[in-house]
C-alpha cells in the first residue's frame, strides 16, 4: 500500500537506501568522460570489475535492473520466442511487460517452492517443435528470489538448470538483483554461483546502497548487442562516472556488511513467529527479506484486509513495510537501518500484532 511520507524506520524495500557520505565523496571525485563516445573511464573500470567478479568476459552499466533484464532477453531471443520463468518472477510481475512490449516474447510460468523450479519442470515447459507453438529460447531464474522471501538458490540446483538448458539448446539468464546477498549467505564466490549462466544482471542500488545503476554481464558478443539496444532504449549515459563511482565504492565497502541485514531479518523473523495471527518459518529467512502471512486460516480477502491494516498500524508507529496485495506483509533490511532501529521495529511489530489479536478477539465476541 502506498504511503504518503517516508517512515522513520523504512523497511519497505532495500531500494530506499541512500548514498553514504563516503560514497558521495567518491562520486564527487570521480574521473568522467563521454561514455557514448570514447568511454567514461570510471564506467569502464566498473564494467571490468563486475565482469571479473562474476567470471564473465564483459559487462555493461545500465540505469536499472529492469533494463539489464530486458537487454538480456532482447539479445538472446527473437520476436515470437518464449521464455521460461518462475510464476513469481520479477521479470513477469514488476517490469511492465517489457519481455512482450520490447522483445516480442511470450513467457511460460512454472511453479516451485520459494521461487525455485526443477529441471523436470523446465523440461515439461519446453514447447515441442511445431508451427503452432512459440519456440522456447531462454530460461531465467532469480537469485535471490524476491517473492520467495529472499530465497538463495543452492549451487546444485543452479547447475542442474544450467546443464538442462545447455542440453535443450536454451540460453540461461540469472536475474541477480540481490546476487550479492546470495553470495554472502552461501559463502560461495559469485563467479561460481553464476558459472552456468550465459548472462547475469546485478543491481547496485538495493542492498549495496548506490543511488542508481545495474550491470549485465555475459560473453562479448551478447554484451556488444546489449550496447546497441541500450542506445536504442535511451539507456546510454554520458558522464556516468559519477554513478559508476558510487557502485565501485559499494563493491569495495558494502558487500560484507550485508550479513548484518541478514541478521536483522532473522531478528524480526523470530518476532513474527511469536506473533498471533501470523505464520513464518524463521529458518526460511535466508537473507534480508521477511514475508509474514496474516491470518493464514482465513480467506484470502480477509488476509489482504488484515495485511493492509497491519501495514497502516506499523506506519502509525514509525515503521514502514509493504502490504503485498496477497495477504502478506514484506519487510526488507538494508544499510539504512541501524541495530537500534531494528529493535524499535521489532517492538512496534509486537505491539501491532497484539492489537491485531485483540481486534480478532473482539470480532468473535
Are residue 266 and residue 247 in the same domain, yes or no?
A: no
Question: What CA–CA distances, in Å, run from 85 to 71, 196, 248?
Answer: 16, 16, 31
- Can you give the pLDDT at residue 355? 84
- Please check the confidence at residue 1 and state whether its pLDDT lies above 80: no
**How many structural domains compose the chain?**
2
Task: Order across the sheet with 58-62: list the strands.
Answer: 58-62, 214-218, 199-203, 171-176, 136-142, 82-86, 106-110
Handedness of CA 162, 136, 142, 240 (dihedral sign): positive
**Do the domain assignments include residue 19?**
no
What digits encode the pLDDT tens for the residues 224-250?
Answer: 999 999 999 999 999 999 999 999 999
Same-domain pairing of 49 and 154: yes
pLDDT for res 281? 76
The three cell numbers locating residue 358? 485483540
pLDDT tens for 308-347 read 999 999 999 999 999 999 999 999 999 999 999 999 999 9
CATH number, position 229: 3.40.640.10
How far is 287 from 264, CA to CA, in rounded Å?
9
Q: What is the DSSP string of 111-168?
A: --GGG---HHHHHHHSPPS-TTSPPEEEEEEESSBTTTTSBPPPHHHHHHHHHHHHHT
Pair (98, 222) in one structural domain: yes
Are β-strands 82-86 and 106-110 bridged in parallel, bridged antiparallel, or unpaired? parallel
What does pLDDT average to over the chain?
Answer: 94
In a domain, 171, yes or no: yes
Residue 101 belongs to a domain: yes
| 8 Å CB contact between 190 and 236 | no
Q: Residue 277 belongs to a domain with what CATH number?
A: 3.90.1150.10
23 is a domain residue: no
Residue 5: pLDDT band with limits 50, 70, 90: low
pLDDT in tens, 159-186: 999 999 999 999 999 999 999 999 999 9
Question: Quick one: how far is CA 18 from the chain centroid?
Answer: 17
pLDDT of 2 > 50? The answer is: no
Residue 24 placed within a domain: no
Res 190: pLDDT: 98
Which has the closest alpha carbon to 234: 12, 47, 64, 1? 64
Question: Rounded distance, CA 133 to CA 147, Å?
Answer: 29
Shared domain check, 247 and 206 = yes
Domain span at 353: 9-14+257-364
Last residue of a domain, one of 253, 272, 295: 253
Which of 253, 287, 314 is a domain's end point? 253
Q: How far are the Cα atoms of 30, 51, 244, 293 from residue 237, in angstroms, in the given order?
A: 15, 19, 11, 42
Residue by residue, DSSP assigns 5-32 as S--SEE-S-GGG----HHHHHHHHT---
- pLDDT tens digits along 116-168: 999 999 999 998 888 899 999 999 999 999 999 999 999 999 999 999 999 99
Residue of 349, 186, 190, 345 whose CA lies nearest to 259: 186
Shared-domain flag, residues 192 and 97: yes
Amino acid at each position: 500500500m502506498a504511503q504518503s511520507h517516508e517512515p522513520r524506520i523504512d523497511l519497505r524495500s532495500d531500494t530506499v537506501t541512500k548514498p553514504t557520505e563516503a560514497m558521495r565523496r567518491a562520486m564527487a571525485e570521480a574521473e568522467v568522460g563521454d561514455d557514448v563516445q570514447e568511454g567514461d573511464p570510471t564506467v569502464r573500470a566498473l564494467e571490468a570489475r563486475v565482469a571479473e567478479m562474476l567470471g564473465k568476459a564483459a559487462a555493461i552499466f545500465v540505469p536499472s535492473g529492469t533494463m539489464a533484464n530486458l537487454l538480456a532477453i532482447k539479445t538472446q531471443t527473437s520476436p515470437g520466442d518464449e521464455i521460461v520463468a518462475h510464476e513469481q518472477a520479477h521479470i513477469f510481475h514488476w517490469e511492465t511487460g517489457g519481455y512482450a512490449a520490447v522483445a516480442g516474447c511470450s513467457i511460460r510460468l512454472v511453479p516451485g517452492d520459494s521461487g525455485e523450479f526443477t529441471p523436470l519442470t523446465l523440461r515439461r515447459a519446453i514447447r515441442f517443435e511445431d508451427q503452432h507453438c512459440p519456440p522456447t529460447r531462454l530460461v531465467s531464474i532469480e537469485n535471490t528470489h524476491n517473492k520467495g522471501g529472499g530465497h538463495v538458490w543452492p549451487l546444485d540446483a543452479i547447475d542442474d538448470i544450467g546443464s538442462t538448458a545447455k542440453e535443450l539448446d536454451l540460453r540461461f539468464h540469472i536475474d541477480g538483483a540481490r546476487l550479492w546477498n546470495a553470495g554472502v549467505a552461501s559463502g560461495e564466490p559469485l563467479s561460481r554461483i553464476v558459472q552456468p549462466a550465459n548472462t547475469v544482471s546485478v543491481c547496485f542500488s538495493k542492498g549495496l546502497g548506490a543511488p542508481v545503476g545495474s550491470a549485465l554481464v555475459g560473453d562479448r558478443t551478447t554484451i556488444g548487442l546489449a550496447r546497441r539496444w541500450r542506445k536504442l532504449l535511451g539507456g546510454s549515459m554520458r558522464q556516468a562516472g559519477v554513478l559508476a563511482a558510487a557502485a565501485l565504492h559499494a563493491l569495495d565497502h558494502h558487500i560484507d556488511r550485508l550479513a548484518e541485514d541478514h541478521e536483522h531479518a532473522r531478528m524480526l523473523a523470530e518476532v513474527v513467529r511469536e506473533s498471533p495471527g501470523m505464520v513464518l518459518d524463521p529458518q526460511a529467512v535466508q537473507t534480508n527479506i521477511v514475508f509474514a502471512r496474516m491470518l493464514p486460516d482465513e480467506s484470502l480477502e480477509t488476509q489482504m484486509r488484515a495485511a493492509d491494516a497491519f501495514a497502516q498500524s506499523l506506519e502509525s508507529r514509525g515503521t514502514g513495510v509493504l502490504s503485498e496485495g496477497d495477504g502478506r506483509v514484506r519487510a526488507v533490511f538494508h544499510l539504512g537501518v541501524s541495530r537500534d532501529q531494528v529493535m524499535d521495529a521489532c517492538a512496534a511489530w509486537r505491539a501491532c500484532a497484539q492489537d491485531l489479536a485483540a481486534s480478532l478477539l473482539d470480532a468473535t465476541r
